[in-house]
Amino acid sequence: MYHTNSKREFSIKFQPQMQILRPSIHSRRANIIVKFQDLYGFAVEGNVDDVNILNEVREKVRQQGRVWWALEASKGANWYLLPQVSSLAEGIALKSSLKLSTLANAITLKRLIRKGIPPVLRPKVWFSLSGAAKKKSTVPESYYNDMTKAVEGKVTAATKQIDHDLPRTFPGHPWLDTQEGHAALRRVLVAYSFRDSDVGYCQGLNYVAALLLLVMKTEEDAFWMLAVLLENVLANDCYTNNLSGCHVEQRVFQDLLVKKCPRIAVHLEELEFDVSLVATEWFLCLFSKSLPSEVESPLFRTHFLSVAPTLSPSIMILMFSLTTNKFSIVPLLSRQLCGCGMSFSMRGQRFCFM
Amino acid sequence: MGAYRTDDDYDYLFKLVLIGDSGVGKSNLLSRFTRNEFSLESKSTIGVEFATRSIHVDDKVVKAQIWDTAGQERYRAITSAYYRGAVGALLVYDVTRHVTFENVERWLKELRDHTDSNIVIMLVGNKADLRHLRAVTTEDATAFAERENTFFMETSALESLNVENAFTEVLTQIYRVVSRKALEVGDDPAALPKGQTIAVGKDDVSAVKKVGCCSA
């Protein structure tokens, strides 16, 4: 299924002609660093172009919000949460529900999701369409509370590592980096470490869970989102003892890179650069560490809502954006590469990873 | 952008890796050495991060490309690419947490399994500023380093104590090994007649090995 999806997204973003190098006035402007807070309270630093792009993204989200409200007015509140509609949108056809209107709603919903979910609706839509709601409904109401109470005060290798990482998860964030934020994040991570002892706690989950807390607003919903993510959405064993699922993802990603971005693949090969070295973080933190919320949450969304079976296509879209320079996230995406002094030279244009 | 273009001018490029348990301060050692920055609010490292800095050894420019990675055990599964081509390593423990020193042995084994036997290793006891919390004595660490033929230094990334020294020492030792090797191999046989190589020959290199790192 994702082949057609990814093609469509690629065609929007991929332009065969490279843009010309920025003239000097732009490069001067590019050196002005602007600091601001993003949607979820993260401090973002970027040059003027980055800020302009993020503003464009925000404007699109606002426009998209208006589409959602209009549909809610005509189709009724929460129309997208009806089980028939949401399961169809997820690609599961319930035979009893194959009414034309339901089908139309499912198609509309899918299209809406791809274009973006307004921030206020994200908790509701993510929770329902990711399958987290279903997962939660299979256990008693008090599951999460009982769990956190039962594991209180227990010390394991996982809890030790979690305690070590709490202050190192988005330090400086106005809520996460407070006692309250640390305590909430700790409860979610510790509870999950006991729910799945194979995973326990893997560094990287701290960033994912923290972001889920910010989006979902409640600990319990964040916990269930984390559960559905690890148990149903991501490749198996992404975070278990030898990160084998993550290795599988890396291979898929490398194959896709060769197929879809052969020039980058060849260039990286010439440099003898193993892309998995930088991509590991992308797969394990789901970009929560490397992209601003405005860019990152659409990726989360596509992934959560089962539009793509592995993370690799989403990353490919990013790589495509990067090569076409259509979407100037290069500086944000590639901080890790800059120390390496890597540069891409494509079609005469030099892309520096700075 | 200019930063790394000027950086491109170097005589030697050495890859160093930072290893050690989670939270011992690897990333802060890296940022202190390459950018002279220390952050109490640092994020835990996932995957691999890189930074470079050039220093002068003799009259040569030596560029260090330093790799930093996550310390958690399960991340070691990704590390064969991490170690590839490394000629130096800083094996870091936290002087206030004894367990991180106990794990040094495992890290050392891992390092020796994955790298060339000529690799220069420096054992680094970080957070030496936390004197009242010290859990690993300098004597224990010195003894260990002697036994394992590694260099040893105590550092504080916070107080910028010995950080420069630790990296510079590793880079200088690598430079010595490499420049001797170059003489030994003799890229240009005419310029370096065989008789000349004997003077700086194998004994000399193994002498460096004895101080610098393990023998094969």
Alpha carbon of A191: minimum distance to chain B alpha carbons (Å): 20
- B129 found inside a domain: yes
Alpha carbon of B190: minimum distance to chain A alpha carbons (Å): 32
pLDDT (mean) for A224-246 = 87
Q: List pLDDT tens digits, range B25-61.
A: 999 999 999 999 998 888 898 888 889 999 999 999 9
Q: Indicate yes or no: CB of A277 within 8 angstroms of CB of B82.
A: yes
Q: Do both A249 and A227 map to the same domain?
A: no
Q: Do both A152 and A186 map to the same domain?
A: yes
Q: State residue A91 phi and psi, 5-degree precision.
A: 100, 10
HEC assignment per residue over B71-124? CCHHHHHHCHHHHCCCCEEEEEEECCCHHHHHCHHHHHHHHHHHCCCCCEEEEE
- A85 found inside a domain: no
Q: Which of A231, A266, A290 is a domain's end point?
A: A231
Better pLDDT: A223 or B183? A223
Range in A15-24, A43-52, B80-89 the model is least confident about = A15-24
- B114 found inside a domain: yes
Q: Do both A160 and A249 map to the same domain?
A: no
Better pLDDT: A32 or A71? A71
Average pLDDT value over all residues in chain A = 73
The chain B residues in contact with chain A (CB within 8 A) are 1, 3-4, 7-8, 22-23, 34, 39-44, 46-52, 65-66, 70, 72, 74-75, 77-78, 81-82, 84
How far apart (Å, rounded) are the C-alpha atoms in residues B137 and B81? 34
Q: Do both A248 and A330 map to the same domain?
A: yes
The residue of chain B nearest to residue A340, with distances taken between CA atoms, is: B50
How far apart (Å, rounded) are the C-alpha atoms in residues A328 and A317? 13
- A192 found inside a domain: yes
Task: Show Cβ contacts of residue A9 under 8 Å, excluding neighbours closer than 6 positions.
Answer: A114, A317
Alpha carbon of B210: minimum distance to chain A alpha carbons (Å): 31
Overall number of domains in chain A: 2
Q: What is the CATH number of the domain that holds B14?
A: 3.40.50.300
Mutating which of A173, A196, A203 best tests the B interface, going by the most B Cβ atoms within 10 A? A203
pLDDT (mean) for A208-216 = 91
Better pLDDT: B201 or A61? A61
pLDDT (mean) for A124-136 = 87
- B146 found inside a domain: yes
Question: What pLDDT score was predicted for residue A322?
Answer: 45
- Which of B3, B8, B47 comes nearest A284 by C-beta? B47
Q: Do both A176 and A143 map to the same domain?
A: yes
Overall number of domains in chain B: 1
- Residue type, position B19, single letter: I
Q: Do both A320 and A286 map to the same domain?
A: yes
How far apart (Å, rounded) are the C-alpha atoms in residues A240 and B165? 38
- A140 found inside a domain: yes
- A278 found inside a domain: yes
Look up the domain containing B113 and give its range: 10-183
Question: What pLDDT score was predicted for residue A109?
Answer: 79
Mutating which of B44, B66, B69 best tests the A interface, going by the most A Cβ atoms within 10 A? B44
Q: Do both A263 and A338 map to the same domain?
A: yes
- B212 found inside a domain: no
Residue ranges in chain A assigned as alpha helix (H): 2-13, 24-30, 48-75, 83-89, 100-115, 122-129, 132-137, 143-150, 157-165, 179-195, 205-216, 219-228, 244-260, 262-270, 276-285, 293-304, 312-324, 330-333, 335-338
Q: Which candidate, A323, A334, A241, places its Cα nearest to that of A282? A: A334
Question: What pLDDT score was predicted for residue B61?
Answer: 94
In chain A, pLDDT over 70 holds for what percent of residues?
A: 68
The residue of chain A nearest to residue B23, with distances taken between CA atoms, is: A164
**Where residue A148 falls among pLDDT bands split at 50, 70, 90?**
very high
- B56 found inside a domain: yes
- B5 found inside a domain: no
Chain centre distance of CA A283 = 9
Q: Do both A344 and A251 map to the same domain?
A: yes
Q: Do both A214 and A163 map to the same domain?
A: yes
ipTM value of the model? 0.76
pLDDT (mean) for A116-133 = 84
DSSP for residue B161: B
Q: List pLDDT tens digits, range A184-196.
A: 999 999 999 999 9
Q: Do both A195 and A251 map to the same domain?
A: no
Q: Does the pLDDT value for residue A89 go beyond 90? A: no
Q: Does the pLDDT value for residue A323 go beyond 70? A: no
Q: What is the CATH number of the domain that holds A171?
A: 1.10.8.270
Most confident of A36-45, B175-184, B197-206: B175-184
- A52 found inside a domain: no
- B202 found inside a domain: no
**Where residue A258 falls among pLDDT bands split at 50, 70, 90?**
confident
Q: Do both A223 and A268 map to the same domain?
A: no
Alpha carbon of A246: minimum distance to chain B alpha carbons (Å): 10
- A95 found inside a domain: no
Chain A residues touching B14 at Cβ < 8 A:
none
Q: Which of A198, A231, A264 is a domain's end point?
A: A231
- B199 found inside a domain: no
Residue A111 contacts residue A212 (beta carbons within 8 Å): no
Question: What pLDDT score was predicted for residue B126?
Answer: 97
Question: What pLDDT score was predicted for residue A6?
Answer: 36
Q: Does the pLDDT value for residue B14 go beyond 90? A: yes
- A107 found inside a domain: no
Q: Do both A195 and A265 map to the same domain?
A: no
Better pLDDT: A334 or A135? A135
A172 interfaces chain B, CB cutoff of 8 Å? yes
Q: List pLDDT tens digits, range B80-128.
A: 778 989 999 999 999 999 999 999 999 999 999 999 999 999 999 999 9
Chain A residues touching B52 at Cβ < 8 A:
339-341
Look up the domain containing A137 and give its range: 132-231
Most confident of A66-80, A162-176, A289-303, B66-80: A162-176
